[in-house]
Amino acid sequence: MANEAHPCPCDIGHRIEYGGLGHEVQVEHIKAYLTKSPVDAGKAVVVIQDIFGWQLPNTRYMADMIAGNGYTTIVPDFFVGQEPWHPSGDWSTFPEWLKTRNARKIDKEFDAVLKYLKQQCQAKRIGVVGFCWGGIAVHHLMLKYPELRAGVSVYGIIKDAEDVYGLKNPTLFIFAENDAVIPLEQVSLLTQKLKEHCKVEYQIKTFSGQTHGFVHRKREDCSPEDKPYIDEARRNLLEWLNKK
Residue 242, C-beta contacts closer than 8 angstroms, at least 6 positions apart: 69, 70
Tell me which of 14, 212, 216, 226 is the catalytic residue: 212
Single-letter amino acid, residue 23: H
Q: How far apart are the first and last CA of the chain?
A: 31
Is 127 strand, coil or helix?
Answer: strand
Look up 179 and say whether it is catalytic.
Answer: yes
Look up 216 and say whether it is catalytic.
Answer: no
Look up 132 and say whether it is catalytic.
Answer: yes
Whether residue 226 contacts residue 210, with contact meaning beta carbons closer than 8 Å, is answered with yes
Rounded Cα–Cα distance for residues 50 and 52 (Å): 5
Tell me which of 10, 50, 132, 216 is the catalytic residue: 132
Tell me which of 121, 179, 216, 226 is the catalytic residue: 179
C-alpha to C-alpha distances, 222 to 17, 45, 219, 234, nearest whole angstrom = 13, 28, 5, 17
Catalytic residues: 132, 179, 212
